[in-house]
Structure 1
Amino acid sequence: MTRPTPLWLLLTLQTAVSAASLVVEIVAGRMLAPHVGMSLYTWTSIIAVVLAGFSAGHWWGGRLAERPVDRALAWTGGALLAAALTTAGAVNLLRLLATPRLDSVGHPVWGITAITMAVFFLPSFFAGVPAPVLAHVSVSQAAPDRQGRALGAMFAAGAIGAIAGTRLAGCLFLSWLGTAATLAVVTITYVIGGLLLFWLARSRALILAGGAALAALVLAGVALATPNPCTVESRYFCIRTVDMSADPASPVHLMVIDHLGHGMSARDVPTVMFTEHAAMLDELARRRAPRADFTSFFIGGGSYSIPRAFTEHGTGPMVVAEIDPAVTALAEQDFWFDPATVTILHEDARRALLTRPDQLYDVIIGDAFTDVVVPVHLVTREFFELARARLTGDGTFLMNVIDYEDRLQALGSIVLTLQEVFPSVEVWTQAVQPEPGSRMVFVIAAGNAPSEFDGFSAPMPFRMEFGALGERFVTRIAETRGIILTDDYAPIDRLIGRPD
């Protein structure tokens, strides 16, 4: 029989374990982003899997709590060491399983769930075991008239730990340490907690526990030694620079944010766009602008390819709202961008427009549409009304949209919503017959008047032809497949979801 454990020690253990488990939940989002992006589907999968793990762990911990205190504490120590092992192995397990799991599961949403379950269920399960055991021990060792206080204190410790873990992950660990080092800190926390519980239980398996602890620390070290897939791991994204050069003497770089390319630039030809949407945004902005030295506002910077091209073309003042300073820094470092050529606002684009009512622009360019990852607040009627209020009388709002040929629900909804705000709404795309079910890239041009042209070509680097969809066709898509998107209801993730 073990001697009574001080309540403060039980509370400390509960706080630490709860904090560590929430750190893992937040880190899971960052770890999955390079493979599947960061979307509503990603976070709902993470939350569901982690809560399922906690629930199963709490159930098993409740069964352990029925055992004698020394055995219950020893088993709980073993659970924490198992949490350390599975947490330490998560980094490399994800890299090993991500691609095969996504390939074997047809639907991307279920693929995300399968990956999350494979990597993060067990760490959550084992981290869920201590709570009922520690709560039962605290209550059973308290005086009869203080058992309620002991139980309440344990619940409060768990909540405080969860709050602390969430804040530490988001504000400190990820931005300063990165994912692997953050999970190493969690692993060490679990190891210390597990060994402490074995010591409190006076368990004869302490040597075996020490071996498990050492194995967990070795796994954490292996994860730290594994090359980070991110060139920069910022507060917001995993950002990579990929060399796409055919000739090393004429470099071309691709910026990948999370799992998708967000811009490509060539050092020697800054006016050439390498993606369909960038080519259309660049050409449409300059062709529809009321004058050569037009003013422009960019929603998102990415690789800053278009601002760099605008500088070469000699357009007027540019403002870029890029929420992540690390994106701007990498564009300057690897994409030949000169930050002195534009005004950069490191804040949300909607807030940037909202808080500067006196600044009007000839062109506003929205480049926030990236696969299933869409900032909902940038595709609503309220936002489009704000954008129109910040345009000059003959100004243009441009945004790229990605959708599937046999769905077009996202395209139809955005067009229908824009038609509520702008007198003229055009849809541009590559002038070729799309393959059935293919993924298509569009650019919408909205303003007070239509374009004076219905087609153009642009170098990317070979010349590609683009054209405007017919007005009747666009109207039919909007009326039959679209819904009005508002700040209250904008299910854009569902509308742009891949076909089953």
Structure 2
Amino acid sequence: MNDASNFRHTSLVLLVVLQTGISAAGLVVEIVAARLIAPYVGMSLYTWTAIIAIVLAGFSVGHWWGGRLAALDNRRALTRVAWALVAASVFTASASFVLRQVASSVLHAFTEPLTAISAITFAAFFLPSLFAGVPAPVLAVVAMRGRNQSEQALGMMFAAGAVGAIIGTLMAGFVFISWLGSEITLQLMAAFYASAAAVVFGMARAAPSTLGSAACVTALGFLMSWQALTAPKVCDVESSYYCIRTEVLDNSAHGPVHVMIIDHLAHGVSARDAPTIMYTDHTAMLDALPRMRMGERRFSSFHIGGGTYSVPRAWAFRGQTEITVAEIDPAVTKAAVNDFWYEVGAATVVHDDARSFLRSTEQEYDIIVGDAFTDITVPAHLVTREFFELVSLRLLPSGVFAMNVVDRVDSLAALASIYRTLQGVFPSVEVWTEATPPRPTERRVFVLLAGQNDSPVSRLETLTPDPKQFAPLAPKFMDKLVVRAKAPLLSDDFAPIDRLMGLTSALD
């Protein structure tokens, strides 16, 4: 009896289930990759682009290799698929360990963000994707062999792969990461690959010695995964949105000082006993500049992004009561309450996207504060003309919009585009920054003030926590910058903020 006859009655249901599960696991690992990499490089268009490209490259090489294996007789082909699944299990289980080992050195070796992100992703997640891509063509060919309606079997296997990808995406986003965390999810997928390998070895009627060897190899991967699982946690909390942790800086004259790390960046610093003192340039300006514009009168405010709630906390301490904060992640608010001395009830907190909330409300504010700009991770929908028009509708006639921007001084392409876009909406747009000459390649913090009128002062001193002076850039300089940088208007249709943040020599 030939090999095809031996496998004539291989369960098509079993093959479909395997195809679905392997495809689902591959997509889960892809999404987990983004969460594991975020604490090192942040989450941006660059991050997702690199991850998707490298994972797809791994799948492609695996599919090509699997196509070559499919030319073998069923038993030999399935045996090799089983070993590929063992390899997928090992490299998936050890991906977090590899990531921890290479991330720091890669980030030191490459200063260009996309190169660094791509190198880290390749090191940790190319091989898991490659070996997970091997089974699909082999299982499809096995499903076709020895069947009268082989075309239908092929269609079912393709459909199983697509359905698996959908299931994996949904389960990763809504179940696994939220309830188990990235590390455990990764090990669960590795365990599934190992189980699938055992099933395929059984289909190939592998010898017991082969199964023993495969079990030993798989154990090595889980040994490395154990080192990653028992290592110090990167996140205190892994929410549906971010990796969040709190670090203690010191016990100063202002009491304990804590810093909040979201993904890979410090998002805020607060002292327990000095709520009105800001510890970073952007919070110092976002605190002092709008208050300067309001004078001595009471005001209402809407804050885009909570973070450590440093500015809302300071304004509440000064007696302001009409404060609303839109923080999309409830876990960030909880961290602010637990670790950064924000008092529940000091502000109205909305756990929603700021733009969505502003669109749904008719409330108008004296001040709208935009604090969602961090390094190369920028919510593009919060820097467009359409969003700025919405902001202008939610400001009272004498109101002011203040937003922070971080950009390289040897580029300023992102700053120029945001400035130009704001100018199309507001009569007055000022760009404030530290009143010192920039250093080469410095990433400088700016705050843009937009409203109906210019500020009454041209210099402002505040505590960061030491006294520091801030001043606006000359309008002529900004107008020349817009021209020289060929700054595009940012719209919902075209907002290449990630590319603009990645430029290093826009003025050359």
Mapping 1:98-497, distance limit 5 Å: 98-143=103-148, 146-204=149-207, 205-247=210-252, 250-289=255-294, 292-356=297-361, 358-481=362-485, 482-497=487-502
Q: Distance in 1 between matches of 2:297 and 2:319?
A: 8
Q: CA deviation at 1:474?
A: 2.0
Q: Distance in 2 between matches of 1:377 and 1:391?
A: 19
Whether the aligned pair in 2 keeps the contact of 1:184 and 1:221 (CA below 8 Å) is no
- For 1:104-144, what per-residue CA distance to the aligned partner results, in whole angstroms no more than 9, with x for missing partners? 2242211111111111100000000000000000001322x
1:66 equivalent to 2:71? Answer yes
Amino acid at match of 1:199: G
Secondary structure of the corresponding residue to residue 365 of structure 1: strand
Secondary structure of the corresponding residue to residue 133 of structure 1: helix
Secondary structure of the corresponding residue to residue 145 of structure 2: helix
Q: CA deviation at 1:210?
A: 2.0
Q: For this pair of structures, how many residues does the alignment match? A: 497
Q: Distance in 2 between matches of 1:471 and 1:11?
A: 65
Amino acid at match of 1:27: V
| Greater Cα shift, 471-480 or 482-491 | 471-480
Q: 1:56 aligns with which of 47, 54, 61?
A: 61
- For 1:327-375, what per-residue CA distance to the aligned partner results, in whole angstroms no more than 9, with x for missing partners? 001111100011211111111000010000x200000000111011100
Q: Distance in 1 between matches of 2:152 and 2:232?
A: 48
Q: 1:28 aligns with which of 26, 33, 46?
A: 33
Whether the aligned pair in 2 keeps the contact of 1:290 and 1:394 (CA below 8 Å) is no
Secondary structure of the corresponding residue to residue 193 of structure 2: helix
- For 1:200-252, what per-residue CA distance to the aligned partner results, in whole angstroms no more than 9, with x for missing partners? 11112122112223333333333322222001100000011011114499210
Quote the RMSD (CA, aligned, Å): 1.4
Mapping 1:35-46, distance limit 5 Å: 35-46=40-51
Unpaired runs of 5+ residues, structure 2, are: none
Q: Distance in 1 between matches of 2:484 and 2:318?
A: 40
Q: Distance in 1 between matches of 2:111 and 2:394?
A: 43
Secondary structure of the corresponding residue to residue 59 of structure 2: helix
Q: Distance in 2 between matches of 1:280 and 1:216?
A: 50
Identity of matched residues, %: 51
Whether the aligned pair in 1 keeps the contact of 2:254 and 2:274 (CA below 8 Å) is no
Q: Distance in 1 between matches of 2:369 and 2:293?
A: 12
| Greater Cα shift, 214-223 or 410-419 | 214-223
Secondary structure of the corresponding residue to residue 345 of structure 2: helix
Whether the aligned pair in 1 keeps the contact of 2:324 and 2:349 (CA below 8 Å) is yes
Q: CA deviation at 1:408?
A: 1.1
Whether the aligned pair in 1 keeps the contact of 2:407 and 2:445 (CA below 8 Å) is yes
Q: Distance in 1 between matches of 2:155 and 2:422?
A: 53
Q: Distance in 2 between matches of 1:248 and 1:466?
A: 25
Amino acid at match of 2:189: V
Change (3 A) 1:493 1:461: same
Q: Which residue of 1 aligns with 2:102?
A: 97
Secondary structure of the corresponding residue to residue 141 of structure 1: coil
